[in-house]
Amino acid sequence: MNGVMSIRGLSKKFGNLQVIHDVNLDFTRGALSAVIGPNGAGKTTLFNLMTGQIRPTAGSIKLDGVEITGMDPSGIVRQGVARAFQVASLFPSFTVAEAMVAAVMSHRNTLLNLWGDFPDQEALDRAREILRDIGASGIERQQCSALSHGDKKILDIALALAMEPEVLLLDEPTSGMGREESRLMIDRIHHLWEEKQLTLIFIEHDMEIVFGIAQYVYVLRYGSLLASGTPEEIKHDPKVIEAYLGGEE
Amino acid sequence: MDPIALWDCMSSPSCVVTQGAAGLISGFTLFLVAAGLTLIFGVLNFVNFVHGAFYMFGAYFAYTAYGLTGSYLLAVLTGAIGVGILGALFEIGFVKRLYEADHLLQILVCYAFILIFDDVVSWIWGVEFLAMGMPDAFRMPPLFIFGGVVPPFYIVLIATAAAIAILMALVLRYTRYGKIIRALASNADMISALGINTRLIYISVFALGTLLAGTAGALAAPVRSLSSGMGFTILIESFIVTVIGGMGSVAGALVSALLIGLVRSFGSVGFPLFAEGLIFILMIAVLILRPQGLFGRSIREA
Amino acid sequence: MMTRQAMFDWAIGAAVIVAMAIFGLYNESGPVRDGIIRFCAIGLYAMSLNVLVGYTGMLSFGHAMFFSLGAYAFCLLLQTGVVGIPSAFVLTVVIAALLSTLVGLVCVRLTRLFFAFITLAIGMLFYSTIVAWASLTGGEQGLTGGIPKDPFFGIDLGDPFHYLMVNVLLFVVSILILRRILSSPFGAALRMVRDNPNRCIFLGINIFRVRLTAFIIAGVYASLGGVLMALYVSGAYPNFAYWTMSGDGLFMIMLGGVNVFLGPAVGAGILLALETVTKTYTSHHGFVLGVVILVTAMGLKRGLLEYVLEKLGAIRGGQGGALDGKASMPAHAVEVGHEATESVSLARTGREQE
């Protein structure tokens, strides 16, 4: 496999609770992959480990062959891994445009400038470009705190994109959305992935969505990797069928 | 600065006893105040910045009561209960609106009340320093333990404070009320879902916390001079105690209050002007090395 | 190329300087003049504290330390007789920067409540040191003996007009520079760290560095206030470092408005005015001040300047303030008449594009 992120023997224990247990997997470069599993399977914890928010108890995570295990989150961001959160994590006192500009400037290392202009015109142009790419130009002038739930999730992704990532991790991008809104969001994500040729990994509960667009699926259960492969393989994997009793959650 | 004097004292039993006793009474007094503070913070998640004022009121109420009745016991009871009522009223009037508020707002409102209360006190009792004096019941010759001077009153104060501490521990651990409070500290929603009147509990916890401070003020009144600024110092010190001991831990409050009382007492022998400074250094060290405090546990584990 | 906002700011600053100059020519003494001078000192102090409280969300309870450091360092340097006023000034700023870096390194790592505690502790430690080290600082009595005010660059601080203008100029220029800093990308970083520190990490922002820089800026600005105060009282006193001075700083910020750039300065003015007025009529100054703060905090729920500006439509209302437990954006300009519906800075940028 042409891996971009390699995980070997990854384990995480919180006190006596083993949340992630000896996970080995490779995420394929440039692929649109999904991580699925029941609640409590450890999907978000996996993301947290991959992005440096928590340190593993054991195991290693490599990005393009570079060891990133135990690196702190801003270091990992600089290596090209960005994430969006299950509950959109934004900046209430900023407008969408301002937050995006700040994110872009942070990426360009021009944010800690004590004398410059804010917003910086170049950064603003780039911020607007990103919002356009994700189809969110309309919310530019809104206050982050005033956005609808869906728009908040979109901005969350846009902020991650401002990091010009190689790998984009989305934690349940459609959570809290109805059928129609979810469909739109998934279209947006798919379009984004095609345009940018990113490695995009997302956590999802909805099987229809997963089998609709994912190229590879990784199934987690009780902190271990139950199965991985293409959607077709996963659908017919006896272990998976047994675990899910053949149905959606 | 005179470290030699400190060394000399530490090697002389009489000095150790004298200074130790002084340290213990200020330590135990401080413990009562800090226990109230930590109770309020642990259960209600409220930083009671006005706490020193309740200590002050306890002392002043006791002073007046003693002047009227000549009975130390009545004075202490007046101080305790009077302040408890005041605390309950304060909770109902203001604190309940501040639980959800930003810390800045909580601190500012409390600080406003410090100014108001201090002024009220100097209005009613005047601006001069007052002294309650040793109650007749305790006008006995001092005890001589290992050559050190220990007024009998000290023993009474220490014993009373210790008794209160034990009572508190028992109540928290074994009574239904105590269990409710401890549960409240961890999960407020659950408690109201169980049909328990949380408002009543909140008011009573706050009143209890302030009552402890008032009791401390009343108990210590004979050996302190009363002024409208007396709340300030004890406030800062009780914060130091809660930080060092751990916010929400009563045992921590006891240990660190005694520690501070003794550090101040012995420290003033060797470093007369800098004894305060020593205590702040201690606080800083704890904040850096172990921010949750020595006993950093919450009130639910009492 | 200056933005419209910057030009406006400098214009206001110039107007203030001119107005004060005219005032100064006709008033060589008097309570108003004294009030202005004290305002310059205390105003700088309040503005400095808000860099931490309002902009970065760091509640410092020991800020008086840097104010008193400014006063004591300046006085002590001058009393050595070795340096003149300009050098003493520069050295004081350097010392303040150094000390705030050191203290910041220790404190900034801690989160909100613990940050408040440790700043309180270090502030009071500083106070205790001042009082204990009587041989250097004069202890409880304060630093007496006056300070030499030799003329420098043709300025003679003995001349009332010169003295007034030095205060005003220092105040106005410092505030304008602070304005620039807080409107810069760094200012945006401060507010991001205030709003959502966790997300900042994931945007590659070094939170520690941002907070430490804010702490240093605040410390240096507070020391400037201390210098002006030292000049005013020709000395330095321990109560400059007492925690009530730190508490008063928070009061001023709240009275004027934590979310408006000039709020703290307005609050400082209100506090000074209150003190003067109540002290003339009653000895119950504490009571009055306490009530005023209660009414503002629980009634208005925002500072006076904020309240006025909201009513005038110059800033967005309903954002909540730090007092409502929600974050809100400090208005980028004390500008009257701008549309309240659009982001002020963005609207300006949009216009410049056309």
Q: What domains lie within chain C, and their CATH numbers?
A: 4-353 (1.10.3470)
Q: What percent of chain B has pLDDT over 70?
A: 97
For residue B14, the enclosing domain spans 3-124+142-289
- Looking at the domain assignment, is residue B184 inside a domain? yes
Other chains touching A, judged by 3 or more CB pairs under 8 Å: C
SS3 A35: strand
Question: What confidence score (pLDDT) does residue B195 get?
Answer: 74
Q: Which whole-number Å values give the CA distances from B11 to B15, B22, B273, C334, in the listed order? A: 8, 17, 22, 66
The pairs formed by A207-210 with CB atoms below 8 angstroms and a separation of 24 or more are A207/A36, A207/A248, A207/A249, A208/A248, A209/A174, A209/A182, A210/A34, A210/A36
| Burial profile B87-111: b = 16 or more Cβ within 10 angstroms, e = fewer | bbebbeebbbebeebbbbbbbbbbb
Which chain C residues touch A93 with a CB distance below 8 Å?
Answer: 191, 194-195, 319, 327-329
Sign (positive or negative) of CA dihedral A216, A222, A225, A229: negative
3-state percent breakdown (helix, strand, coil) of chain B, nearest 5: 75, 5, 20
Higher pLDDT, A128 or B251: A128
Cα separation, C254 vs C193, whole angstroms? 21
Cα separation, C261 vs C50, whole angstroms? 9
Touching check for B146 and chain C: CB below 8 Å? no
- Looking at the domain assignment, is residue B297 inside a domain? no
Touching check for A78 and chain C: CB below 8 Å? yes
Q: Tens digits of per-residue pLDDT, B134-175?
A: 877 777 788 787 777 788 888 888 999 999 989 988 888 888
Are the C-beta atoms of C124 and C239 separated by less than 8 Å?
no
Question: What confidence score (pLDDT) does residue A199 get?
Answer: 92
For residue C339, pLDDT over 50 is answered with: no
Q: Tens digits of per-residue pLDDT, B28-56?
A: 999 999 999 989 988 888 889 999 999 99
Of B105, B119, B236, the CB nearest to C124: B236
DSSP conformational letter for B238: H
Question: What confidence score (pLDDT) does residue C197 get?
Answer: 92
Interface size A-C, in CB pairs within 8 Å, comes to 124
* Highest-scoring range by mean pLDDT, A121-125, A145-149, C65-69: C65-69
For residue C99, pLDDT over 70 is answered with: yes
Interface size B-C, in CB pairs within 8 Å, comes to 118
For residue A104, pLDDT over 90 is answered with: yes
Q: Tens digits of per-residue pLDDT, C5-62?
A: 888 888 999 999 999 888 888 877 788 888 999 999 999 999 999 999 999 999 999 9
Question: What confidence score (pLDDT) does residue C315 get?
Answer: 63
Q: Do chains B and C touch (3 or more CB pairs under 8 A)?
A: yes
Span A113-134, mean pLDDT? Answer: 90
Higher pLDDT, C5 or C204: C204
Which chain C residues touch B111 with a CB distance below 8 Å?
Answer: 247, 250-251, 293
Q: What tokens were used for C21?
A: 């100059």
Interface test with C, best of B110, B115, B241 (most C CBs within 10 A): B115
Least CA distance to C54: which residue of chain B?
A: B104
Of B47, B116, B287, the CB nearest to C287: B116
- Looking at the domain assignment, is residue B75 inside a domain? yes
Q: What tokens were used for B285?
A: 């060290």
Domain count, chain B: 1
Higher pLDDT, C353 or B129: B129
Touching check for B124 and chain C: CB below 8 Å? no
Q: How close is the nearest chain C Cα to the Cα of B283, in Å?
A: 7
Lowest mean pLDDT among A208-212, B271-275, C102-106: B271-275
Of the candidates A80, A83, A64, the residue with the CA atom closest to the CA atom of residue A5:
A64
Cα separation, B244 vs A229, whole angstroms? 54
Least CA distance to A94: which residue of chain C?
A: C329
Q: What tokens were used for A118?
A: 């804010």
Q: Which residues pair with A36 in a beta bridge?
A: A219
Residues sharing a CB contact under 8 Å with residue A222, sequence separation 6 or more, in sequence order = A21, A40, A41, A42
Of the candidates A247, A216, A210, the residue with the CA atom closest to the CA atom of residue A233:
A216
Cα separation, C161 vs C166, whole angstroms? 9
Of A82, A95, A111, the CB nearest to C189: A111
CB contact under 8 A, A107 and C199: no
Question: What confidence score (pLDDT) does residue B268 get?
Answer: 84
Of C110, C117, C290, the CB nearest to B112: C290
Which chain A residues touch C193 with a CB distance below 8 Å?
Answer: none
Establish how many alpha carbons lie within 13 A of residue B287's alpha carbon, considering only the half-sphere containing its beta carbon: 28
Burial classification of residue C233, based on how many CB atoms lie within 10 Å of its CB (0-12 exposed, 13-18 middle, 19 or more buried): middle
Q: Which residues pair with A203 in a beta bridge?
A: A35, A171
Question: What confidence score (pLDDT) does residue C101 get?
Answer: 97
Question: What confidence score (pLDDT) does residue B218 get?
Answer: 93
- Looking at the domain assignment, is residue B120 inside a domain? yes
For C343, left (φ over 0), alpha (ψ -120 to 50), or beta?
Answer: beta
Question: Residue B90 is inside which H or E element, if any?
Answer: helix B72-90
Lowest mean pLDDT among A3-12, B5-14, B291-300: B291-300
* C-alpha of C193 from chain center: 20
Which chain C residues touch A77 with a CB distance below 8 Å?
Answer: 201-204
Least CA distance to A89: which residue of chain C?
A: C199
Of C3, C209, C319, the CB nearest to A112: C209
For C146, left (φ over 0), alpha (ψ -120 to 50), or beta?
Answer: left
CB contact under 8 A, C251 and B108: yes
Mean pLDDT taken over chain C: 83
Lowest mean pLDDT among A89-103, B205-219, C280-294: C280-294
Q: What percent of chain C has pLDDT over 70?
A: 88
Which chain C residues touch A159 with a CB distance below 8 Å?
Answer: 199, 203
Q: Which whole-number Å values give the CA distances from C257 to B56, C178, C339, C344, in the listed order? A: 32, 17, 20, 18
Q: Binning pLDDT at 50, 70 and 90, where does residue B199 land?
A: confident
Touching check for A45 and chain C: CB below 8 Å? no
Q: Which residues pair with A229 in a beta bridge?
A: A217
Q: How close is the nearest chain C Cα to the Cα of A32, in Å?
A: 22
Cα separation, A218 vs A28, whole angstroms? 11
Report which residue type is found at B255: V
- Strands A17-28 and A3-14, bridge-based pairing: antiparallel
- Looking at the domain assignment, is residue B130 inside a domain? no
Of A95, A101, A113, the CB nearest to C184: A113
Cα separation, A203 vs A86, whole angstroms? 9
Phi, psi (rounded to 5 degrees) for B280: -65, -35
Are the C-beta atoms of B84 and B208 separated by less than 8 Å?
yes
Are the C-beta atoms of C104 and C122 separated by less than 8 Å?
no
- Looking at the domain assignment, is residue B129 inside a domain? no
Touching check for B237 and chain C: CB below 8 Å? no
Which chain B residues touch C130 with a CB distance below 8 Å?
Answer: none
Q: Which residue matches tokens 């109560």?
A: C239
Q: Which residue matches tokens 């909540």?
A: C320
Are the C-beta atoms of C202 and A73 separated by less than 8 Å?
yes
Are the C-beta atoms of A60 and A10 separated by less than 8 Å?
yes
Q: Do chains A and C touch (3 or more CB pairs under 8 A)?
A: yes
Least CA distance to B243: which residue of chain C?
A: C117
Touching check for A158 and chain C: CB below 8 Å? no
Span A119-138, mean pLDDT? Answer: 90
Phi, psi (rounded to 5 degrees) for A7: -120, 130
CB contact under 8 A, B105 and C297: yes
Q: Is the ipTM of this structure higher than 0.95? A: no
Which chain C residues touch A81 with a CB distance below 8 Å?
Answer: none
Are the C-beta atoms of A141 and C342 separated by less than 8 Å?
yes
Of B115, B283, B284, the CB nearest to C290: B115
Question: What confidence score (pLDDT) does residue C334 get?
Answer: 25
For residue B189, pLDDT over 80 is answered with: no
Cα separation, C276 vs C255, whole angstroms? 16
Q: Tens digits of per-residue pLDDT, C220-235?
A: 999 999 999 999 999 9
3-state SS, one letter per residue, for chain C: CCCHHHHHHHHHHHHHHHHHHHHHHHCCCCHHHHHHHHHHHHHHHHHHHHHHHHHHCCCCCCCHHHHHHHHHHHHHHHHCCCCCHHHHHHHHHHHHHHHHHHHHHHHCCCCHHHHHHHHHHHHHHHHHHHHHCHHHHCHHHCECCCCCCCCECCECCCCHHHHHHHHHHHHHHHHHHHHHHHHCHHHHHHHHHHHCHHHHHHCCCCHHHHHHHHHHHHHHHHHHHHHHHHHHHCCECHHHCCHHHHHHHHHHHHHHCCCECCHHHHHHHHHHHHHHHHHHHCCCHHHHHHHHHHHHHHHHCCCHHHHHHHHCCCCCCCCCCHHHCCCCCCECCCCCCCCCCCCHHHHHHHHHHC
Q: What percent of chain A has pLDDT over 90?
A: 37
Other chains touching B, judged by 3 or more CB pairs under 8 Å: C
Question: What confidence score (pLDDT) does residue C1 get?
Answer: 52
Of A92, A95, A107, the CB nearest to C204: A107
Q: Tens digits of per-residue pLDDT, A1-58?
A: 456 888 898 998 887 888 888 899 999 888 999 999 888 788 999 999 999 888 899 9
Q: Which residues pair with A12 in a beta bridge?
A: A20
Q: How many other CB atoms sit within 10 Å of the CB of residue B9?
A: 17
CATH number of the domain residue B228 falls in: 1.10.3470
Question: What confidence score (pLDDT) does residue A114 get?
Answer: 87
Q: Tens digits of per-residue pLDDT, C280-332?
A: 887 778 888 889 888 888 887 777 788 888 888 766 554 433 333 333 333 32
Q: How close is the nearest chain C Cα to the Cα of A84, in Å?
A: 9
Q: What percent of chain A has pLDDT over 70?
A: 96
Q: Do chains A and B touch (3 or more CB pairs under 8 A)?
A: no
- Looking at the domain assignment, is residue B301 inside a domain? no
Other chains touching C, judged by 3 or more CB pairs under 8 Å: A, B
Burial classification of residue B51, based on how many CB atoms lie within 10 Å of its CB (0-12 exposed, 13-18 middle, 19 or more buried): buried
Of A99, A141, A145, the CB nearest to C342: A141
